[in-house]
Amino acid sequence: MSEGAVMGLLGGPMLALASFVIPFLTRSAVEGGLGPNAVMGIRLPSTMASERAWVAGHQAALGPSRVIGRVGLACAVALTASAFLPQGEDPHWVSIVLFALGYGVVLGGAVWCAVVASRAAREAEVSRPVPPG
């Protein structure tokens, strides 16, 4: 099996999984199914400051995470299909471009979500009413 076929047949499904997990976890945090924890979610000092900051951050990142999921999934399907292109010694250029684009979207999108979530979490903490006493 050629490198391009392996890239498509392994890289495509893994990209699809990442494209599904990011919006799923973000939505779970917004809906209360995933609270602040040591393993999953957007774990920044600003989002971990309180439950309110956690939810506000994930709520703000929900839109970007959906975009990442959709674009990443489209790239994953195309990357998987590229495994069936005629492959030479080197991977087909289409496979290389789709691999770089898809994983770039997921990684860059994760940074985008983190920035958006951090801003929203900080704003939620600033606007938080001071408890009496």
pLDDT at res. 131 = 64
Q: Which of 67, 81, 82, 60 is nearest to 22 (CA)?
A: 67
User: Would you place residue 130 in the very low, low, confident or very high pLDDT band (cuts 50, 70, 90)?
Assistant: low
pLDDT of residue 133 exceeding 70: no
- pTM of the full structure: 0.86
pLDDT of residue 1 exceeding 80: no
Give the angle 77-73-115 at the CA atoms, nearest 5°.
150
Contact 72, 106 (CB under 8 A): yes
Tokens of 89: 């010694």
- Give every CB contact of residue 11 below 8 A, 6+ residues apart in sequence: 79, 99, 102, 103
- Give the tens place of pLDDT for each residue, 5-46: 888 899 999 999 999 999 999 999 999 999 999 899 999 999
Q: Where are the domains of the chain?
A: 3-126
**Distance between CA atoms of 118 and 41, rounded to whole angstroms?**
12
pLDDT of residue 132 exceeding 70: no
Phi/psi of residue 103, nearest 5 degrees: -70, -30
User: Would you place residue 87 in the very low, low, confident or very high pLDDT band (cuts 50, 70, 90)?
Assistant: confident
Contact 54, 121 (CB under 8 A): yes
Tokens of 119: 């801003």
Tokens 């393993």 belong to: 39
